[in-house]
């Protein structure tokens, strides 16, 4: 498959622009997109000569910023009340669900996602179709099946591996499916009977083997970890991000700072479970203490300087795709500075995903852009109102 043709150049204008790095907004801004890349981002007065020959798109009252990044999604799942039942049985049906959910993400301004768990290659395949221009959706960095132990969390979105050698084999099997990162289930989970959410799943030698093998092959590692014991073990093994991290103690926060790992809190996951009218009671009972601890843990982590990335866990109960702007609002409500929260959903997340030029607006970066209706720095809910989305310089919304 060959990629789509190069789009025509265009200038976007708005009263403000955020470049995604966390620096304050640029006023009276212009963004020149040329050849699928950013040719200029800054004050309109500084537009390069010749920019006037390019068509102009004016967005009064809006904010120009990088396309949003959701660092934790499950494209094969659609947010029904029971995750296990929501994932279609057939591979073809799962792939079709992933295509539909990719479109939903794009409609909400999301131009890059990391898929952290599918039964097979579904999300990676959708990502390839997006790159070829055959399917509308965000770019996808996919993990393939989550690596989980016998009796562990989400076996229906994963592959079972027990023992250090099996961990290495699981990494290689995912690589063969097109994975660009690895997801490991380091503790129990709220949605699965079996090991309790707060208890560690894998041993240290198992986690060490998985991370060593993944990094050796150029893949990053995301660890699902709810309790502090599993968080610490995963961080000691050298994972690149902790997913959920609901119970964090001082030792865990210290390990984050020492290793540089990012925290992807996924506030929307417990929010969907606790607010979902049809979610089973036993799941709500397991989610409640974790949700309460999450608020304290996140506040402590960001206060200590742990870098946050925005991940929604989209696809889990009552958590449909496209919610990353709401996740960002939760992060702000729970103590993260507004500009750092925007960074968490743009530059910080794109860097974690290994595609840093898809999270910033600066000369030479990919022309993935969202235009939000309002002043994002003053009102974070403006992120929930996309008025235009550009991907590789082409308007897609």
Which residues would be at the binding site for Zn ion (CB under 5 A)?
313
Phi-psi domain of 278 (left: phi exceeds 0; alpha: psi -120 through 50; beta: other): alpha
Measured CA to CA, the distance from residue 113 to residue 267 in angstroms comes to: 17
Q: Which is nearer to Zn ion, 154 or 253 (CB)?
A: 154
313 vs 351 by CB, closer to Zn ion: 313
Place of tokens 């660092």: 71
Nearer of residues 31 and 352 to Zn ion, judged by Cβ: 352
Comparing CB distances to Zn ion, the nearer of 192 and 334 is 192
Q: Work out how close the CB of 381 gets to Zn ion at its nearest, in angstroms, rounded to a whole number.
A: 25
State the residue for tokens 């016998």. Answer: 150
- Residue pair 382/371 in contact (Cβ under 8 Å)? The answer is no
Are residues 18 and 377 in contact, defined by beta-carbon separation less than 8 angstroms?
yes
CB of 217 to Zn ion, least distance (A): 22
* Angstrom distances, CA of residue 329 to CA of 3, 10, 54, 311: 35, 30, 35, 12
Q: Which is nearer to Zn ion, 29 or 234 (CB)?
A: 234
We find the least distance from the C-beta atom of residue 74 to Zn ion, in angstroms, to be 6
The least distance separating Zn ion from the CB of residue 290, rounded to whole angstroms, comes to 14
Report how far residue 41's alpha carbon sits from residue 111's, in angstroms, rounded to the nearest whole number.
18
Give the residue with the Cβ less far from Zn ion, 297 or 391.
Answer: 297
Could you tell me the smallest distance in angstroms from the CB atom of residue 30 to Zn ion?
A: 39
What is the DSSP track for 276-312?
A: -TTS-HHHHHHHHHHHHHHHHHHHHHHHHTPPEE---
Are the CB atoms for 257 and 248 separated by under 8 Å?
A: no
Q: Which residue is nearest to Zn ion (CB)?
A: 313
Least distance between Zn ion and beta carbon 157 (Å): 8
Smallest gap, in angstroms, from Cβ of residue 359 to Zn ion? 21
Nearer to Zn ion, 76 or 369 (CB): 76
Least distance from C-beta 75 to Zn ion, angstroms?
11
**How many angstroms separate the Cα of 244 from the Cα of each of 98, 168, 310?**
23, 24, 11
Nearer to Zn ion, 63 or 312 (CB): 312
List b or e across 25-42, with b for residues whose CB sees 16 or more CB atoms inside 10 angstroms.
bbeebbbbbbebbbbbbb
Q: Whole-number minimum distance, CB 315 to Zn ion, in Å?
A: 7
What region, left, alpha or beta, does residue 393 occupy, with left being phi > 0 and alpha being psi -120 to 50 degrees?
Answer: left
Q: What's the distance, Cα to Cα, between the start and end of the chain in Å?
A: 23
**Pick 19 or 313: Cβ nearer Zn ion:** 313
Give the residue among 68, 45, 59 at the shortest CA–CA distance from 16.
59
| CB half-sphere exposure, 304, CA atoms < 13 A | 21
């Amino acid at each position: 498959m060959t990629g789509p043709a190069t789009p025509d150049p265009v200038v976007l204008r708005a009263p403000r622009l955020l470049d995604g790095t966390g620096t304050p907004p640029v006023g009276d801004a212009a963004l020149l997109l040329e050849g699928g890349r950013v040719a200029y981002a800054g004050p309109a007065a500084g537009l390069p000569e010749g920019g006037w020959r390019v068509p102009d798109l004016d967005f009064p009252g809006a904010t120009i910023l990088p396309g949003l990044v959701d660092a934790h999604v499950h494209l094969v799942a659609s947010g029904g009340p029971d995750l296990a039942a929501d994932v279609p049985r057939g591979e073809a049906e799962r792939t079709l669900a992933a295509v539909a959910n990719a479109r939903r993400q794009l409609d909400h301004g999301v131009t890059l996602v990391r898929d952290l768990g599918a039964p097979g290659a579904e999300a990676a395949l959708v990502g390839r179709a997006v790159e070829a221009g055959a399917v509308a959706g965000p770019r996808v960095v996919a993990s393939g099946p989550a690596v989980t132990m016998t009796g562990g969390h989400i076996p229906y979105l994963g592959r079972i591996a027990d023992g250090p050698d099996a961990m290495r084999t699981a990494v290689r099997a995912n690589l063969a499916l097109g994975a660009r990162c690895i997801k490991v289930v380091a503790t129990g989970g709220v949605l699965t009977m079996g090991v309790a959410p707060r208890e560690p799943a894998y041993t240290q030698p198992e986690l060490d083997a998985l991370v060593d093998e993944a990094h050796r092959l150029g893949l990053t590692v995301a660890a699902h970890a709810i309790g502090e014991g599993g968080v610490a073990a995963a961080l000691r093994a050298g994972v690149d991000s902790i997913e959920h991290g609901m119970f964090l103690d001082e030792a865990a926060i210290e390990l984050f700072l020492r290793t540089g790992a990012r925290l992807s809190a996924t506030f929307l996951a417990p929010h969907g479970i606790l607010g979902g009218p049809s979610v089973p009671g036993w799941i709500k009972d397991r989610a409640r203490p974790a949700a309460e601890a999450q608020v304290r843990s996140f506040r402590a982590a960001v206060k200590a300087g742990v870098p946050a990335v925005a991940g929604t866990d989209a696809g889990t109960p009552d958590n449909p795709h496209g919610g990353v702007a709401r996740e960002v609002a939760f992060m702000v409500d729970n103590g993260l500075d507004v500009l750092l929260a925007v960074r968490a959903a743009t530059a910080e997340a794109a860097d974690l995903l290994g595609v840093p030029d898809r999270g910033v607006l600066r000369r030479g970066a990919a022309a993935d852009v969202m235009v939000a209706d309002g002043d994002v720095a003053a009102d974070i809910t403006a992120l929930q109102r996309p008025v235009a989305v550009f991907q590789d310089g082409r308007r897609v919304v």
